[in-house]
Amino acid sequence: MNELCLRAIGVARRRGATYADARIVALRHQYVMVEDRRIPSVQDSDSLGLGVRVIAGGAWGFAASASLTKAAIERTAAQAVEIARASGLAKAPGGVRWAKEPVHVAVFRTPVGRDPFPVPVAEKADLLLAVSREVLKVRGVRKCHGYMQFQGEHRWLATSEGTIVESETITSHATYTATAVDGTTAKTRTFEAHPANAGWEHVAATPLLGEARRVGEQAVAKLKGKACPVGRRDLVLHPSHLALTMHESIGHATELDRVLGMEESLAGSSFATIDKLGKLRYGSPLMNIVCDNTMPHGLATRGWDDDGVEGQRWPVIQNGILIDYQTGREVCHRIGAARSRGSCRADSWSSIPIIRQSNIGLEPGRAPLSLDELIADTRDGIYIEGMGSFSIDQKRQNFQFGGDCFWEIRNGKKGAMYKDVTYQAITTEFWGAMDAVCDARFWQPYGVNNCGKGDPMQVARMTHGSAPARFRKIRVGAGTR
């Protein structure tokens, strides 16, 4: 495959490209679905193709093809150069600036205990059916949906600078949802082996079956839950919930392409503009946000990004102050950085690399603090687990989030369940209200495997970790009444 990539680069260079990279990507995806006592769908797909990206005349061109014949490779590379020439009609002043990166020649592979693809489909179906049967035993539960999916990505990347890297990642994910129905409404509760770069052992180690009764019972309990109060409450947020809050209000807001307006036409931009770098108080002094593309099992951990930049670990918010961004080679110079942070990824051979969220998360608190102690220290609050409704404006300021399961906290005790809770805030006010973070014993990663961005739309994966944290006097209930 490396030779095919180099052939494409050679054609592009001969046609005038000042920079070229070629990626061949082999994708495999397997999906097993359960609905109640049936397996309605088992699908297994693969895809292979080549994407060629060039800078010619100071402008970008990209072309992709599913064919890897000599003629197709040469045609695709030539098209990329032709497209770049067209882009030159409206190129940025001075053309594309491309940051230096050491040459890498290496291989990365996700450590996998048991490759999930050879695991028999019957074994997967049996587990899903067993879970579903158990969920449906709970009185009041009328539905169980679930699925397992496994993604394999084998990527060969070569650049005209001499980088030749190969990475092979495997992602495993299993999830199910119980739906309880009564005379007036329906409520759901979800449990999952969150998406992780790992093999079947990740699914096997998650108590999917062991938690099925509890999940079903909590779906039923939600039906009888109290209505969300309207007003201000302290929120204690579990890592399974904070993952999405961080994703939307920090992860996207610190992507430098968005900050610079390059995503304005679709996903939007960011309030965290570069004039605020080093100055913006994003949150409380307890807020330390770190990107880590070397994180074991992280969905964005793959050795090198699609700019050929090595995976790195770096802080973007330190003691509540914005100090860095997630960057790529094209844009890092805009904040005075000589080297990219390595955050550029494409979701397929047919997609152009764009800045995507890294594995980005909240560092645990330094003082010993357990979740139980945090709840015990909260007088009038709400404890939230899991992901639910989520919406945020295009500059990542005004947001509203729900969750999967909610409990009242009254005088330090976790009490009755709420049926639905939403909270609204402005990003910096919300993070400014964080006054406690549990310690490293309670830090947990959660994968997000459906992050949409780009135009044409691409879907990326990344992991967000945190320990439970508390946010004081957040506005709740505006979305439920």
Partner 1 sequence: MTRTQAFGIIRKVLKIAKADAVSAGVRADTNASTRIADNAITQNVRTESQGLWVEVAYGKRSGGASTNDLGDASLRAVVARAQQIAKVTPPDPEYMPPLPGAEAKRYPVVSAFVPATLAQTPMDRARVLASAAAGVRRRRLRLSGAWSTSGTWSAFGNSKGLRAWHRLTYAEAHMTVLGPAGSGWAQAISTDAGEVDVAAVVAEAAGIAVRAQHAVDLPAGKYDVIMRPAAVADILGFVLWGGFDAKATDERRTFLRGKLGRKVFGDNINLRTDPGDPRCPGWPFHGDGLAAKPRFWIRNGVVENLIYSRYWAKKKRKAPTGWPTNTILDGQGTSVDDMIASTKRGLLITRFWYIRDVDPMAPTVTGMTRDGLFLVENGRIVKPVKQMRFNENLVGVFSRVEALGVPVVSGEWGGMVVPPLKVRDFTFTSTTRFG
| CA distance linking residue 200 with residue 121, whole number of Å | 12
Choose which of 2, 6, 13, 42 interacts with partner 1 (CB under 8 A). 42
User: Measured from the CB of residue 420, what is the shortest distance to partner 1 in angstroms?
Assistant: 6
* Bridge partners, 21 (sequence order): 53, 159
Asked if 225 interacts with partner 1 (CB under 8 A), we say: no
Within 93-132, the residues that bind partner 1 by CB under 8 A are 93, 120-122, 125, 129
**Contact with partner 1 (CB under 8 A) among 149, 179, 270, 357:** 179
* Range in contact with partner 1 (rule: CB under 8 A) among 58-66, 158-166, 213-221, 356-364: 58-66
Closer residue to partner 1 in complex, CB, 80/236 = 80
Task: Find how far residue 402's CA is from the centre of its chain.
Answer: 18
Which residues are registered as beta bridge partners of 49?
Answer: 25
Contacts with partner 1 by CB under 8 A: the residue count is: 80
Using CB under 8 A, which of 3, 14, 92, 115 touches partner 1?
92
CB of 111 to partner 1, least distance (A): 27
Pairing of strands 164-181, 141-159: antiparallel
- Which among 159-167, 313-321, 407-415, 416-424 is the span making contact with partner 1, rule CB under 8 A? 416-424
> Does the footprint of partner 1 cover residue 273 (CB under 8 A)?
no
Q: Which is nearer to partner 1, 32 or 369 (CB)?
A: 32
Task: Give me the phi and psi of 385, to 5 degrees please.
Answer: -120, 150
What gap in Å lies between CA 135 and CA 145, rounded to an integer? 10
319-358 binders of partner 1 (CB under 8 A) = 350-352, 354
Query: Out of 13, 114, 133, 143, which residue is the one contacting partner 1 (CB under 8 A)?
Result: 143
Q: How far is the CB of 339 from partner 1 (least distance, A)?
A: 21
Going along 269-396, which residue ranges are E strands?
Answer: 289-292, 313-318, 321-322, 344-345, 354-355, 360-362, 380-385, 390-392
SS3 for 174-227 is EEEEEEEECCCCEEEEEEEEEEEECCHHHHHCCCCCCCHHHHHHHHHHHHCCEC
Do residues 164 and 107 touch, judged by C-beta distance below 8 A? Answer: no
Q: Within 12-41, which residues bind partner 1 (CB under 8 A)? A: 37-41
Residue 281: φ, ψ to 5°: -85, 100
Establish if 265 lies at the interface with partner 1 (CB under 8 A). Answer: yes
82 burial type by CB count under 10 A (0-12 exposed, 13-18 middle, 19+ buried): middle
Footprint (CB under 8 A) of partner 1, residues 431-470: 455-456
Select the span of 6-14, 280-288, 405-413, 471-479 touching partner 1 (CB under 8 A): 471-479
Check: CB of residue 436 under 8 Å from CB of residue 286: yes
Burial class (CB in 10 A: 0-12, 13-18, 19+), 41: exposed
Smallest gap from Cβ 192 to partner 1, in A, equals 19
Min separation Cβ 164 and partner 1, Å: 24
294 binds partner 1 (CB under 8 A): no
Please list every residue from 65 through 84 that binds partner 1, using CB under 8 A.
65-67, 79, 82-84
SS3 70: helix
Output 42 or 277, the one with its CB closest to partner 1.
42
Least distance in angstroms from the C-beta of 475 to partner 1 = 8
Compute φ and ψ for 369, nearest 5 degrees: -160, 120
Q: Is 230 in the site for partner 1 (CB under 8 A)?
A: no
CB of 20 to partner 1, least distance (A): 15
The span from the CA of 237 to the CA of 383, in Å, is: 6
Near partner 1 by CB under 8 A: residue from 14, 16, 70, 86: 86
Q: Which of residues 374-403 bind partner 1 (CB under 8 A)?
A: 389-395, 397-398, 400, 402
